[in-house]
Amino acid sequence: MAHPFKIASLRQLRVITIIVVYIIALCGCVWAMRYVIQAPTQHQLYASDIAADGGKTIRDLEKSASGQRFRWLSDNVTLTIAQPTNTGILTLHYWVAPNRVANALHINATQIALPPTAPLQQRRIAMLVSHKTYVPQTTIGMQFMAQPKEPIAWAFTSANWQDLTPTPHPTIVGVIVLVWVLSALSMQQILRRHWVSITSASIGVLILVITQSVIANSIAELIQHPQFVRNGGVIGVGWVLWYLIHPRLVTFFDRANPTQRMMMAGYVVLTMLPPIGMLFNPEPARIAVQEQRQRQECPATWEGDRWDVGHNFAILAQCVTDNIGWRSVMIRSKNELDYRLFGVSSRVYFGSNDFYFLRRWGDERFPALQTILQDPDQHQQLRQAITAMHAAYAANNIHMILVIAPSKDSIYPENLPWYAPRYDAQMVVDLEAELRAEGLDVIPVTTLLQQHKQSVPLLYHQRDFHWNDLAAYYVAQEIVARIANNEQRTTPWAPTTPTYHAIWKYATDQNFAALLLDRDRSPQSYGIDARRPGQATWTDESYANQDFVVWRAPAALPQPALPNLAIMGDSFSAYFRNIGIEWYFDTIVATTGAGATSAILPMLQQQHVKYVVVQLRDVSLPFLLTQQREQ
């Protein structure tokens, strides 16, 4: 019989040996990470590594005359490159777009002035970047600053980070050590094999080390998350509880039959996934459902009396409902089933020929508009609101042209599904006639677009509630003709069918539908890329706390310019800036959401504006009446 003291000594030796092996494996992983950071010492970012977004802020990959690949970028694009050490040299290859002046380069929170650069002249700049060791920064953000503000600012070729300090960033070391320890302990608890836990944890960590730029970006995003400490603590407590009760779970599964095991495993997974998703949202940003409301934030303190359970529980319940994990996936899955099985949605009507129509307009706004136009008192109040706007402009010697943009439902009613409500577009046509009889200059937009409906493929986007460039083209032609007629001149814009081309536009109604499949497909529409005089662009300006976009002709126009114009409208009026109206005016001032207010009128007089286009949507007419009542 062996001596008890000898057996205890052997057990202690075995425990010490196992601990030493764990420590050696962990040190080996840290050394491997340091080796990877040291060799190679450069971390590259090329233009081909950046994903294009359809030309909105990042254009497609191009090749220069010397064979270099580059992308044109907007100045609101932030590029990130891995910074796995505290100090290094950042080198950037770029050139500036025409008609732009390079001002500065934002490196994380630091602004660095750029040397004078001629347009299209390739530049290479290198700068020393350093961070204190306690700053959890494992990536560098680069943002180009230029004037004036335009969609395209600079062309990016490549950037690289060259390490000057061989020591890995302490944040990366800490995260790697934590991941290795948790992985090793978890595998040991599950498999009861020390060599398996050491091997699996080491392999997992080494994979992370090899994909260094990926882990650096992920670590930076996690650590800078405002709820990281609290969420990390909750996850840690959960892991400790799991570690302690795991033996009992194993005993239960050993005694259970296969059906019971499967049911229990499925229950645990389905129960735990949503709460875990609340702590660290696993859904990518592109799948998130966009809502026209603020989600309920989770309460941090108890409100009211200690017995006020109902109020606090209601807030907590709404918080869980709004922030539960996989919420967007579940919403999109439900919407996809409704669409595939029944062809319906709570947000849009799915019409024929791939047309989408907003339900909020058909179910709420059109009935409200119909009620107003059919009620004599409200009808009169609406007319008075519009005539009061006309009088305010007239008192300042500004001629108002009213444009009531019809909804897609009234131009393409044949594409509505059979169960969708329909409203009589003739009511708006009659309102236009009444206003015209009172002396207002009103363009019959509904009649105009119906006349050109068969001349072009589409006047509205199929999966978006806006009209397209072609509809704006016909309306803009009529605006120019009206102004030329008032000035007793022949219209300089001959009424012709526009030259258009196919475009693929990400659609608002498609976004509202929030389907799971085919959500990123941009449906086909039609656009116009009209040249502007001198290839000049609209500029952003601000007056009376209101943002404007202003067109100023860079040189003399081919024909005498018409008097200066202002466009006051909504998102529909933005399409007037794509179709060539700039050829007929020296100055055009455009904005959204502004009316004939005491602050706006002096600015229009300062810009010598003689004509103003007030663009409204038919479904927005009830809001005009509401604003008058509030005043």
Share of the chain above pLDDT 90, in %: 18
Of residues 415, 544, 542, 408, the one with CA closest to residue 468: 408
**Mean model confidence pLDDT for the chain:** 77
Dump pLDDT digits (tens) for 386-429. 999 999 999 999 999 999 999 999 999 999 998 888 888 899 99
DSSP state of 58: B
| pLDDT above 60 for 166 | no
Per-residue confidence (pLDDT) for residue 133, from 0 to 100: 44
Q: What's domain 42-163's superfamily in CATH?
A: Galactose-binding domain-like (2.60.120.260)
pLDDT, tens digit, 9 for 90 and up, residues 67-113? 777 777 777 777 777 655 667 777 777 777 776 776 777 776 677 77
Domain ranges of the chain: 17-31+170-276, 42-163, 352-630
Write the DSSP symbol of residue 562: B
3-state secondary structure of 29: helix
Asked if residue 468 lies in contact with residue 461, where contact means CB atoms within 8 angstroms, the answer is yes
- Among candidates 42, 118, 109, 99, which has minimal Cα distance to 78? 109
- CA dist 456 and 526 (Å) reads 9
Pairing of strands 154-163, 441-443: unpaired
Strand ranges inside 398-506, DSSP E: 399-405, 441-443, 501-504
The H or E element containing residue 378 is: helix 376-394
Contacts of 378 (CB under 8 A, 6+ apart): 371, 372, 625
> 548, exposed or middle or buried, with CB in 10 Å at 0-12, 13-18, 19+?
buried
Q: 545 exposed, middle or buried (CB, 10 Å; 0-12, 13-18, 19+)?
A: exposed
d(CA 302, CA 311): 10
The bridge status of strand 546-552 relative to strand 587-592 is: antiparallel
- Token pair belonging to 65: 């005359």
List pLDDT tens digits, range 7-33. Answer: 555 556 565 666 666 677 667 666 666
Q: So what's the pLDDT on residue 298?
A: 74
Nearest to 158 by CA among 67, 247, 221, 54: 67
Locate tokens 């007419």: which residue?
621
Residue 563 has pLDDT above 90, yes or no: yes
Q: 434 pLDDT band (50/70/90 cuts)?
A: very high
Cβ(612)–Cβ(567) below 8 Å:
yes
Least Cα distance to 533 among 588, 483, 570, 589 occurs for: 588
Q: By C-alpha distance, which of 411, 443, 438, 405 is closest to 619?
A: 405
Q: Across residues 260-285, what is the average pLDDT? A: 75
> What band does 155 get if pLDDT is binned at 50, 70 and 90?
confident
CA 576 to chain centre: 23
CB 538 within 8 A of CB 550: yes
For 27-78, how does the pLDDT look when each residue is reduced to its tens digit (9 = 90+)?
Answer: 766 666 665 555 544 567 777 777 766 556 777 777 776 777 777 777 777 7
C-alpha to C-alpha distance for 125 and 104, rounded to whole angstroms: 12
**Higher-confidence residue: 449 or 49?**
449
CB distance 423 to 370 below 8 Å: yes
Q: Report the alpha-carbon distance of residue 298 to residue 323 in Å, rounded.
A: 8
